[in-house]
Amino acid sequence: MAAPMQRCPKCGTDKPRTAAQFHKDPANRHGFKLTCRECTNAAARAAYAADPQKTLTRLRERRSTRAAMFATHPSYEAA
Ligand SMILES: [Zn+2]
């Protein structure tokens, strides 16, 4: 089955809604982010360039939050 096309609101390009073009996002019903992989990566790079410390702090916090989650939920054991 062909993947439906999805227009990225940032670059306005129609791309197939696949993991190769869009990051996954369980928050969306179709399971992918609205902005394409390229634009998401560009935004992340820009944010890091603007304030590396903020990005590093956020990643560090996310890492420890996830580590705590994995530690308390046995069902999250590595597959
Ligand atoms: Zn895009």
Compute the Cα dihedral for 3, 27, 59, 68 and give only its sign.
Answer: negative
Q: Report residue 33's pLDDT band, with 50, 70 and 90 as the boundaries.
A: very high
Q: Report residue 17's pLDDT band, with 50, 70 and 90 as the boundaries.
A: very high
Cα 42 from Cα 72, distance rounded (Å):
34
Give distance in angstroms: CA of 54 to centre of ligand 1. 24
- Average pLDDT, integer, range 33-44: 97
Give distance in angstroms: CA of 64 to centre of ligand 1. 30
Instruction: Give yes or no for residue 4 having a pLDDT over 70.
Output: yes
Q: Report residue 7's pLDDT band, with 50, 70 and 90 as the boundaries.
A: very high
Q: Residue 28 in 3-state DSSP?
A: coil
Give distance in angstroms: CA of 41 to centre of ligand 1. 9
Give distance in angstroms: CA of 12 to centre of ligand 1. 6
pLDDT of residue 75: 73
Give distance in angstroms: CA of 50 to centre of ligand 1. 20
Average predicted confidence (pLDDT) for the chain:
92
